[in-house]
Each structure stands twice: as C-alpha cells, then as structure tokens.
Structure 1
Amino acid sequence: MLFTIYYLHRHWEYKDMVISLQWLPDKCEIQSRLMALKRMGIVSDYEKIRTFTVAIVGVGGVGSVTAEMLTRCGIGKLLLFDYDKVELANMNRLFFQPHQAGLSKVQAAEHTLRNINPDVLFEVHNYNITTVENFEHFMNRISNGGLEEGKPVDLVLSCVDNFEARMTINTACNELGQTWMESGVSENAVSGHIQLIIPGESACFACAPPLVVAANIDEKTLKREGVCAASLPTTMGVVAGILVQNVLKFLLNFGTVSFYLGYNAMQDFFPTMSMKPNPQCDDRNCRKQQKEYKKKVAALPKQEVIQEEGDIIHEDNEWGIELVSEISEEELKKSSGPIPDLPEGIIVAYTVPQKQEDSVPEVTVEDSGESLEDLMAKMKNI
C-alpha cells in the first residue's frame, strides 16, 4: 500500500470539559487519487515510488515542505540532514509549529512526517555536513543509505541556504557520480530556482560558480549587521513544489525534466536553460566524470539517420490540374554553363551561362571614295 492512515486522536481541555475528536480519512480515496496518474496515462507505474530513496540536505523553508510533499506522495525512504534548531522566527514559513521550538529540525520533521505517513522510512542526521568528520559520514550514507542498506540513494536534494554547503554537496556527488538537484530562494524572497546536476553530463555547481565562490570570498563577511534575509512562505512553497515535481518526473520517468528552472515572482516568469560541463572545471572529479560520460556516449551504438522523402502533394487530383515548367529541358541546358570537375561530395549551386555571340549577320560596306558632302547632297535629292 502506498499510504497508511491511523486514527489521529486530539483533545482539548476547556475549563472542566475535555473535548475529544477522532478522525479517520478514507484510505482508499487517498490511494485512488495517487493511482489516477496511472489510469490517466501520465505515469506507467506509480507504485514504483515506494522503491526510491531521496536524501534532503537542509530542512528549512524549502527542505521541510519538500520532505512533506515526498512523504505524502509515498516515497520509500527519506534521509534528512540538518544541524539547526526550530525557532519561533521560523513560524513565518510552512511546516514547523510553535510547540516544536527548541527541537532539532530533523527531529521535529521526523515526528511530523511519521504522523502523516508511517509507511515511509526515515533516517535523520543532526550535524553540519561541511565539517571534515561529518563529510565522511555524509558520503557513506549517500553511498549506502538506500532503501536496501548498502545501496546508494536514488537522488540527493540540496535545500540549503549557503554556498559552502552547496559546494560540499557538489564535491561529494562529483566524487560518487551521484545525481542531485540544487534549489534556492533569493535573499529578497521574490525569486528562486531549481537545477538538475548529473555529474559529467551537465554543469556541476563548480563549473559556473557564483562570484562569491569563484573569488574565494568568505560569505560570512558579506552579511550586514542587523540585516537578515527576507522570507516568504509563498516563494518557498513554489520552489519546493517545482522541485518535487521535477523529482517525481525524474524518478518515475514522465514528462520533461528541467535542467534549470527559475522563478521570478515579480513578473511570474519561469526561465529555463541547460548548461554543459566546463572542461576546465576546478573540481577534478567533475573533469573525471566528464571523461567517463564521453566514453559511455562513444560506446553507444550509432543510430542510422534515414531521410524520408517528402510526400508529393497534388500529383494527381480530381480537377486534372498539372504544374508544367515554362522552360524546357533543352532551354534549361542552354541557359546553364559547363559544370566544372569537383571533388566527390561537392556540387555547384548554379552555373554561369556562356556568353552568346550576336546572331545579327555582319554587313560589309565598300568604300566609294566619295566625300561626306557629296553623299549628303545625294540623300537630299532622293
């Protein structure tokens, strides 16, 4: 089963009264709404979603909503990585609740997500992946933390808010050859993006890094005193939505997966593009993956391109209309010049016709020896 719902028991105390409520949604209805994708021909096998494992790094404004959406979609297993705690300042975002303040984000997320769908397996890690000791463990879990222990995860999602963590994920995935998706929301909270990164096939995060990364600037020095980034649950919800939509298309193989999809809330603009990997990328593992990808492409059997002749239109019609050339073949040959000898495979677009001699016969006039005045006098008398 894709989704199991248990009784949710809630009670409120009001003065001397205790109000209890038991709620049980229709399990079959929930399943049918997901399986309708298969009946409508959108997805060939939606139940396959339960066989996938996704790792989410960063359980903040985008990551927490992403985790909830994947949980509701019936993903097989989720790995959550974050080292931050839930604060009351986070309540302007979705997912977290005031009573969870003080808990680690991964602990609070796991508790909420298990109540939503107990069939999903959860593995949480409360640490910073950018430290040396934690990086090795992070690599190990990406390589061996699949639904079946010892197998790699199917996809890594970056939902972090700093370049250092993004570069750490990029380094790990390039070394492992692990496909991942990067996401982000701008500091002014009115734009965001998602990006699919396949090591060797598409540009990695280091192939075309932001200026702050390319110039080796410590981003901590860029933060202004007393100024914090803006945060809108709407923008984060939109970015999380298009991220999970791309995840589902990638895992279940339907629709078109965007390599880069941006979102500008001011103009409701969604730019798309794709970038090839940089052969001079600073990440040596990226360059190694590029070579491996080229070998893989070269080993694929070449497909012969068969050019089909276009259908002849109006060759025969009920009205007996025919198209006849106004120039005969003989006239066409006469109007063309000689074709020069050219190497095989080269043809001329047109030829210059030979210069034709004047066909008017020449008239020879004998000299009579008379002067011009005498000739003019004769013409007057005629």
Structure 2
Amino acid sequence: MPLAIYVLGLAIFAQGTSELMLAGLLPQLAADLGVSIPDAGLLISAFAIGMLVGAPVLAVLTLRVPRRTAMLVFLAIFVGTHVAGALTPNYGVLFATRIVGAVAYAGFWAATTITALRLVAPTGRGRAMAVLVGGLTLATVIGLPGGTFISEYLGWRAAFWAVAIMSALAMVAVAVTVPAGRPDTANPPRLRLELRAMAQPQLWIAYAVTALSVGATLVTFSYLAPLLIDVTGLPTGWVPVVLVIYGVGSAAGIAIGGRIADTRPFPTLYVGLSGVVVVSVALALTARFPVVVVVLVGVLGAFGFLTNPAVNTRVFALGEAAPTLAVSTNISAFNIGITVAPWLGGLAIGAGFGYPSVAWIGAGLGLAALATVLLAAALAHRSPPVREPVPASG
C-alpha cells in the first residue's frame, strides 16, 4: 500500500475530528457566544449541510484540476475556516465557517477517494478505502474524546486550533507524498460524459445502499451516550470506554472488509448488514443489561464498518466512466444517512418511545439496506455496469 494512502487517511482523521468533536463542545460554545445550546447544535447541522452539497458541486468545479492541487486547496480552506472560527466572537461568523469548512472537507473526500483508488491495483481498492475510512474511525475513537478533553482544560477555541494545526501538517504531508499528476489535455474529463454515465440505475441503487447502511449503524451510535446512562444505567465515566470499544470493533470491521470487499462485495454486504440487523434487535431487547450492551456495541461497530469498503468500491466499479461525480455523489449519500438517521431517532424519542427505539430503527434501516442489496445483485446478474474509457487525472 503506497505511503500516500496512509497520509490521506491521517488527513481524513484531522478533518473528521472537527466534524465529530462539536458534540462535546456545545455547552462551552453556547456559554461563550451567548446562544442557547439548541442554537449551538445548529452548527452540527451546518456542517452536515455543507458536506451534503459540497461534494458534487466541487467535483464539477474541479473536474479538470489535478487531484493533488485540489486537495491542497481544500485543506488550505479548511485550515483557514478553523483559524477564523477559533478567533471569532460572533456566532454568525462561526456558523458560516462551519459551512465553508464542510464544503472544503467534502471536496477533499471526493478528490482523496479518487486518488486513493487510482494509486492501487483494482484488487487493492477495498484495502485503500479501509485506510481512508480508518481515518474517520480514529476521529471517532481519538478525535472526539480528545477535542472534548482539550475543551475542558483549554476552552473550545483550543480544540479548533488543534484541528487547524493537524490539518496544516496534513497539508504538508499530502504535498510531499501524493503524486502531482497532470490532466490529460488530449482527452480531458468531460462533464457531459460523466453525467451520461451517471444515468445507470445500478449506481443509484448503490447510493441507496450507502445511505441506508450508514444510517442503520449511526442511528444507534448517535444516541448511545443517553442510552447507556439513562437505560443501561452505566456511570457517565463509562461512556468514553464504551465508545473506545465501539471504535475497536469498527477498526476490526474495516480491516476485514477491506481485505474481502474487492473479491466478495455482495457477501460482504450481506454479512455486514445482517449482523447490524441482528445486533440492533438484540440491543433493543437487552438495553438494561450493562455487560450485554457493552459487548453488543463493539459488535455493532464491527458489522457496521465491515460494509464500508464494499459500498465504496462498488460505487467506483459501477461509476468507473464517471469517477468524479460517482464518488462525490456517494459522499453525499453517506451524509444523507448521517443526517436523516439521527433525525428519525430523534422523532422516535420525542414521541415517547424511549432510547431503545433507535436500535429498532437501526434494524429497520438495515433490513431496507439488505433488500436494496438483493435488488442490486439481481440487476448485476442481468447487465454489467457502463464502462467508458476515462483518462486518469492526478
């Protein structure tokens, strides 16, 4: 595996920390900026919206820009937004920096995914994606509690400075390790060809699998802390420990999925999603038993992240004639799952069904994802994906 792949994974870790850490900074942020905690919580929504919209828009705007150049520009913008966020006393300015930073992060994800998949042989794509997603897992296990820890002792602005410094270091590492690449001026990427290749029904079914599979796991993870405290009865100090267990399970799932996703994408999805359904039902039924819940949380992370390399490599295989738009739209699909699933969980909790209800929702989303995979497999046997020659741009 090229060193550049691991550098890109660390860059994802630096930026992903910003995406996740805000949940632990809300009380301090709200008090310092003079806003309510719900208003401070909108900063999380702002980031999600920026990610959702940013990936396909920036993919189109940078279609003919060398990938490394695009990544460096996106990282520079991301660093700038966090410096501005750390310095501003104004909620509105901070809100704007969250949107702009998320758009840049989405653009970086799109450029990074295409670059990583083209730096390895087709049989290594699953492992490459496992490394990239592993960066986000590290952000969950280390970045989220680390940002909260820094905030407790040095204030929330220090957490923003930490992200800016890590992202700046990642920028230097990307410049050193990622090949420069040059656009093919004789046969440059064309938006019309990419749009035509995007018309495949199989590709949009793959996006549905992405959104549903992410949502199936994340709906439970989003409300894990209150479930552990209010239903399972664990002390507050145990929550970070359980999050680490979830992260360890996630890392194991990514490692296994990365090794088998290229050769067995559909079996990987069947096993991973079936596991998510079974574990979610078990969590809903045993939420009051601490030992069982702690074990199940780790297993949920493993099954949930087992599918991740498979959904990514599947999209790239289907959208090989439209690599830029295919990958960037898949990032938007991820963020649809990340945004909609917690919203559904919130509706259930608000309606009085309690925190275990989010696990039932996770099981339902997992079943929907399984049905979508079955449809995708049936279509795959009928017709191969559209493949047109597309030049490799750095």
Q: Relative contact order (alpha carbons < 8 A, sep ≥ 6): 1 or 2 greater?
A: 2
Give the number of the structure whose residues are more often helix, by fraction: 2
Give the number of the structure whose residues are more often strand, by fraction: 1
Q: TM-score range by the shorter chain?
A: under 0.3
Scaled by the length of structure 1, what TM-score is found?
Answer: 0.25
